[in-house]
């Protein structure tokens, strides 16, 4: 199994890169930044792209000749609390925690709203026995080669600012499924502090 982990950011802050590298077994690593990285950390691929997150990812994947089984998009501010495995992930959907969720699923560590966001976005996670609405978090998401080949990046992604709701619109427009899952991680916001994964409907 071949895995590519794409670290995507404006300017690389190195603090948690070693943690990220140690959390994926036998993976290659790509760095996609808005400004050139001149540090000493090793990446198989290093790309400068001034556009925003989703556009960075898709531009890189479209140009990449080597094929992988699994792709991981991750921000360098992520600190993973356990190694990531792929056994229970969907090969036909984007796998990620939720930024907003309405539905009946019980997902340990399935939301991104702990820590500094605790309470401020309490209404973003709601139980409903029948209706389901999913907005995936974009700090880290994982997808199989199948998803890319289904047209995940086609048509081309707009180059402007793109938050989680913009991602959701793009997935729907391209017929891409989403699969809410749990990842145990902390996200170290450079200005507001740390957030961490919280449970959904538990």
All structural domains of the chain: 3-200 (3.90.550)
Angle between helices 53-63 and 164-173 in degrees, nearest 10: 40
For residues 75 and 54, what is the distance between their CA atoms, to the nearest angstrom?
12
pLDDT given at position 73? 98
| Residue 111, phi then psi, degrees to nearest 5 | -125, 160
Kindly give the residue spans of alpha helices, DSSP state H, lying in the chain: 17-22, 53-63, 145-149, 164-173
pTM for the model stands at: 0.95
In Å, what is the CA distance from 41 to each residue of 3, 29, 30? 19, 11, 11
Using a 10 angstrom Cβ sphere, with 0-12 exposed, 13-18 middle and 19 or more buried, the burial of residue 148 is buried
pLDDT given at position 123? 86
**Mean pLDDT in runs of 10 for the chain (202 residues)?**
97 96 97 96 96 91 96 98 96 97 97 83 88 95 97 74 83 93 96 93 93
For residues 123 and 27, what is the distance between their CA atoms, to the nearest angstrom?
37
| Residue 74, phi then psi, degrees to nearest 5 | -145, 145
Contacts of 186 (CB under 8 A, 6+ apart): 78, 79, 81, 115, 194, 195, 196, 197
Nearest to 137 by CA among 50, 77, 190: 77
pLDDT given at position 17? 98
Nearest to 113 by CA among 102, 127, 123: 123
């Amino acid at each position: 199994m071949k895995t590519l982990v794409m670290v995507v950011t404006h300017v690389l802050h190195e603090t948690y890169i070693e943690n990220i590298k140690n959390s994926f077994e036998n993976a290659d690593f790509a760095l996609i930044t808005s400004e050139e990285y001149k540090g000493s950390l090793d990446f198989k691929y290093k790309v400068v792209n001034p556009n925003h997150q989703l556009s960075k990812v898709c531009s890189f994947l479209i140009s990449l000749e080597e094929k992988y089984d699994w792709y991981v998009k991750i921000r360098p501010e992520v600190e993973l609390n356990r190694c990531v495995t792929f056994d229970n992930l969907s090969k036909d959907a984007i796998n990620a925690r939720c930024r907003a969720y309405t539905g009946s699923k019980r997902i340990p560590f399935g939301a991104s709203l702990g820590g500094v966001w605790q309470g401020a976005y309490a209404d973003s996670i709601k139980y409903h026995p029948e209706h389901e609405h999913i907005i995936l978090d974009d700090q880290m998401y994982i997808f199989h080669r199948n998803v890319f080949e289904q047209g995940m990046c086609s048509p081309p992604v707009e180059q402007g600012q793109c938050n989680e709701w913009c991602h959701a619109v793009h997935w729907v427009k391209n017929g891409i499924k989403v699969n809410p899952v749990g990842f145990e991680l902390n996200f170290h916001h450079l200005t507001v502090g740390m957030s961490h994964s919280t449970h959904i409907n538990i």
